[in-house]
């Protein structure tokens, strides 16, 4: 179930610039996960880290304005 929630969120962020902008704001994984939980996406840090690593993405923000490179299209 957690994997599905993470994948749904990463796809939603890839498809919708407003979702992406909202989830680019949190500074830490803990804040990101808490925000996701408010929106009904339930997962923990280990699960998120595993999927990000598996897909070859990076959670840390880059660029100006700072953005994450985790979003799936």
pLDDT tens digits, the chain, 73 residues: what are they?
899 999 999 999 999 999 999 999 999 999 999 999 999 999 999 999 999 999 999 999 999 999 999 999 8
Overall pTM surpassing 0.85 (yes/no): yes
- Domain containing 64 equals 2-69
Residue 53: what pLDDT? 97
Closest of 14, 3, 4 to residue 72, by C-alpha: 14
Tally of structural domains, the chain: 1
Instruction: Please state the φ and ψ torsions of residue 59, each to the nearest 5 degrees.
Output: -75, -35
Q: Rounded CA gap, 2 and 60, in Å? A: 21
Residue 1: what pLDDT? 82
- Contacts of 1 by beta carbon, 8 Å cutoff, 6+ apart: 42
Cα-based distances in Å from 46 to 21, 30, 38, 52, 53: 23, 11, 19, 10, 10
């Amino acid at each position: 179930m957690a994997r599905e929630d993470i994948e749904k969120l990463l796809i939603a962020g890839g498809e919708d610039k407003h979702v992406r902008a909202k989830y680019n704001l949190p500074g830490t994984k803990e804040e990101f996960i808490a925000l996701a939980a408010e929106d009904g996406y339930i997962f923990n840090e280990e699960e998120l880290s595993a999927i990000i690593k598996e897909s070859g993405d990076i959670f840390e923000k880059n660029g100006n304005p700072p953005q994450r490179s985790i979003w799936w299209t």
